Structure 1
Amino acid sequence: MNRPQGRGATALEKHYGFLLWLLPTVEQFPRGQKFLLGDRLQTAALTVLECLIDATYSRRPESALAKANLELEKLRVLFRLAHDLHHVDGRRYEFAARSLDEVGRLVGGWRRALQAQSGHGDGAP
């Protein structure tokens, strides 16, 4: 498989690293929450990964990036809930928040670059 390059590679690699941390973290949730809140966190995070892969290899990545952005927002809220329910401590919550913020900034920058390429940034009045 070819390795992605550019914006897609950066966002994809950062989010992949987040998933490597997330999956064992969810395993530490209480049994009932592991299969409820933990499953939602894992599903949203894996959906972001799939969207980033789709966007990286697509000629028209806009819709995949929009979906990734929405799923990132869901992850932020779900992690806040996990923290408020004391399933993750402050240190883990901070790591998750920073990681999701970084991937979100990369996705946002990618979306803005695509908008600029589509004519909004060509210098026309």
Structure 2
Amino acid sequence: MDDLKIRRKCEDMIAYGYVVLRQFPKAERHVLNQEIRSTMWSLLRLIIICNRRYFKKTTMQDLDAELDLLRSQIRIAQRLGYLSFNSYEVWTRHLDEIGRMIGGWFKSLQEKGRG
């Protein structure tokens, strides 16, 4: 269970995100661009931490909140015109898949009584 599917999906999303973020205007590279990158790495960090902990409930809640923050940041970037609709759509699909995996993980923990 060392290499979780959700971890690989998050790494794939980060790789895609970096490609898309290169297309941001220079003025935003040190503001919104940096915030999005930071949030993506925090998401991966929380996935790894959650996998290592025995009691995972609070970390899972942090993970869910971080995913929601990333969704908002990407939605704002698209609204401001920094992301094409196609890039936004692909990135959103990545995030939705990660969100479903987090939900399934949380549900399985509740069934085991280790939340």
Under a length normalisation based on structure 2, what TM-score does the superposition of the two structures give? Answer: 0.92
Displacement of 1:117: 1.1
Secondary structure in structure 2 of the residue aligned to 1:29: coil
- Name 1:10's counterpart in structure 2: 5
- Residue 51 of structure 1 corresponds to 46
2-structure distance, mates of 1:119, 1:35: 40
Q: Map of 1:13-92 to 2, 5 A cutoff?
A: 13-92=8-87
CA distance in 2, matches of 1:68, 1:10: 15
RMSD of the TM alignment (CA)? 1.7
Question: Does 1 or 2 have the higher relative contact order (CA < 8 Å, sep 6+)?
Answer: 2
Give the gaps of 5 or more residues in structure 1.
121-125
Task: Kindly report structure 1 stretches of 4+ aligned residues shifted beyond 4 Å.
Answer: none
**Alignment partners' CA distance in 2, 1:13 and 1:62:** 21
* TM-superposition CA deviations, 1:72-122 (whole Å, max 9, x none): 1011111111111111101100011110010011011101111111189xx
**Residue segments in structure 2 that go unaligned for 5+ positions in a row:** none
Q: 1:45 to 1:29 in 2, by over 3 A?
A: same
In structure 2, how many angstroms separate the alpha carbons of the residues matched to 1:98 and 1:90?
12
Q: How many residues align?
A: 115
Q: Secondary structure at the match of 1:28?
A: coil
- Structure 2 match to 1:104: 99
Structure number with greater Rg is 1
Q: TM-score, normalized by length of structure 1?
A: 0.85
Asked if the contact 2:56–2:114 (Cα under 8 Å) also holds between the matched residues in 1, the reply is no
Instruction: Look up the SS of the partner of 1:87 in the other structure.
Output: coil
Write the distance in 2 (CA, Å) between the matches of 1:119 and 1:71: 21
